[in-house]
Structure 1
Amino acid sequence: MTDETIRARVDREGRLVSADAALAHLQHRAGGKLPGPIVMPQLAAIVATALRLNAPMLRPVYAGEADFDLRFWVRIVPDTDGAALTLSGWSEEAKIRPQLSQDPAFPLDGPGWTFECDGRLAILGLWAEGSAARIRTRDWIGKTLDELFDPVGTEPIAATLARGETVDALAVDAMIDGVVARAELNARPSIAANGTLSGAAGSLTLKRGKRAGAAGETPYLPGNWGALDRRMDEALRLPIGRIIANAETIARRVEGPIADDYASYAGDIASAGKHLLGLIDDLADLQAIEREGFEVAHERVDLAKVAAQAAGLLSMRAAEKRMTITVKPNDQAALAVGEFRRVLQILINFIGNAVRYAPDDTQITVETAVDPDHGKASVTVIDQGPGIAPEDQVRIFDKFERLGRRDHGGSGLGLYISNRLARAMDGNVTIESAPGEGARFSLALPRWPE
């Protein structure tokens, strides 16, 4: 990284009219001219936004060059003639580019692809082998491995690669030609000198007989796919995501001061957008679990570790209500048979409900237990909320049931989905509660054999 400040100017049309040597060199390398339109898409979009709003902006920029990854911050200050650009934190990281076609670590035993990723694990290059060349994959470029490929019964791909570990023969579900197909993923991380992940390279091989619709095969459908597939992503998730991002930018006054009521309106828009995204995800999960042939993986799951991860993911939301989430230690490991990501999904629902419905300044406790006599391991989320009446403790697991609540968000599907997922893992979900005494939601699963 360099501490050098790089300066440039654009005119009112967003054309780069002058630039210090580093940015000018990058402009020329990317096929642009000086003066001329900015050829880096992300930088050009930020400049266009600042000029349109006539407001200063400070944004990070990330770009992948042929031999290195580039990162910097740009501050844009519009004026009567265009805008002044100040670039700082300019950082270039060399890429490690293995020769995949000659690398025995990535054999292709069928139609498939070799690929290279940047430091975010977004695909930069993709090369087809065999009949895979007939499949359109242009929309894979720029998307991350975890966005494209859903691992079956394991943690996210990025988590493994970030630890510097290889991904070997991992079964994944991929959306290919509009259907979900089973494939095998191999990937090797590239680690920079400072120990951070700078990229990855690998291969994806289609597995014969595992494609949706193949005779005798009922493939597992990830929660984001199925009837609500990538076309729904493009129609709903991506536009709503942009609305949320823009609304939060306005609400936080990132681009300059605005009246308090407008900031509040923007905050309401962002909250409503997040609610809609949550509803889309719930409906996609609902479609998946109610599909004939739905299955989950059966793997070793450490309930205490999953509980800690779920608590960490929701700690910021809890802090907004001055709530604390405590995972109580247990001398006996609560190891269960289940699917890691589905157990995490259930605990996020339990803890999320506690954060949503319990009063401010209260405590949420998560504890694990082992019942060797019945061969069970369990995890329980305990809140200090209003409690649930006995007559409501059965119907709370019904589809779209919210017990008459209309002021806390939610779709009324979370507990229904959690209960169905628990049963698919040969477990169960239970509740203990009384009005005014909080609630205890428990997930019990078969104990992992010692």
Structure 2
Amino acid sequence: MRPRPRPRTGPGTVWQALPARGYLLSPWPWRALAYLATGAVAGAATLVGIVAAVAAGGVLAVILVGLPLLVLTALVGIPVARLERHRLRLIDRAPARPVRQPPATGPWPWLTTRLRERATWRELGHALLFALVLWPLDALVVAFALAAPLHLAVTPLLMATAGGGEEAKVLKQWTVTTWPAASGVAVLGLLLLALGGYALGLAAGARAELTRVLVGAPREDDQEARVVELSRSRVRLVDAFEAERRRIERDLHDGAQQRLVALTMALGLARLDAPPGPLADQLAKAHGEAGKALEELRELIHGIHPKVLADYGLPAAVADAADRSAVPVDVTLELPGRLPQAVEAAAYFVVCEALANIGRHSGATRAAVTGGHRDGRLVLRVRDDGRGGADAAAGSGLTGLADRVSVLDGRLSLSSPPGGPTLLSVEIPCEPCDPRDHRERTEPCA
């Protein structure tokens, strides 16, 4: 069987269509005409809107009502640029606008975010250029490339109708009095109309390129927007991960743990009521196993997300981890208030992993956890007097925690020369939160 031929696709832009055969018989001249004609109409409307808004704002500024209107006039480029992107689809591929997400919902965060964007001011410049210069050029191109040749092409018709068969005015400049001259002017008009089709395509293509430069994002802005969005997506993943850990902790605490507590109590009561013998021995054994399972479940819940961290904050959780450490630990941690929950969780698990490594590998006799909040950053130091030689890349468990800290724009560093001491440092940018307004996110709390 012969392979099925692939369907042929037409040109995707006016620049690709211009050198192709059959351009004049394709939809592209009409699309170029539609682009330029709608540009003339939209530009005139933009000019009227800007003049009206500025005039109203200037008049009302006396009573301070016009000041917000003047500020909003600076945002006129946003809807104009959006309209331009839709019109670009007539002859070209419309560029996307990388929009930065406001830090919170509401009109004020949206307004401040838009006013700080370079794209907003670039689009305002495009709107002013569009209203003052570009739309008259669009109208002139349409007039000279289409209207004038079309008027020449209908000269015989004008001579037969308006001139009574004796004369016709050509472009209101000269008079044609004979039919051969009228026919010659008509042929000239058809030739100019064909050339006008190409002129419309060239003008529309150049106009679209200028619009793309003005309302499309430069490469560096696009890359910056991608980096910002990637960072935000990583933070959202951390928040979702922490929320899921808290949900699992609550489900285990309120579900499986309560059932095990009830089972342990029931076995204890049955053990007391049972007479001495094999049954009592089996009940005692089952009661002991249930107690061990309950203890292991509590340790598991504590490792998923300790309740003391959610209820009392990082200092209490670190103190609790120090009490459970195999090595004596001195804790000196002073914070002005609660921190964002993702920051508290990351710092807590770094401390827990560090204390676990000290107990298993360092041979230390004592450790210390110190830190506080300084210059907009949470700073933690975990030190021990062990043998040193620790390597974060050698399977200590700190690599994943370092990645987790880096998501929060933090930094984790390890200093462990042979012979000790070992010092683990963590710095995470954050701002304290009001305990009554402790939200589950990484942004600074208001």
TM-score, reference length from structure 1: 0.29
Q: Greater share of helix residues, 1 or 2?
A: 2
Larger radius of gyration: 2
Q: Identify which of structures 1 and 2 has the higher relative contact order when contacts are C-alpha pairs closer than 8 Å and 6+ apart.
A: 2
Q: Greater share of strand residues, 1 or 2?
A: 1
TM-score, reference length from structure 2: 0.30
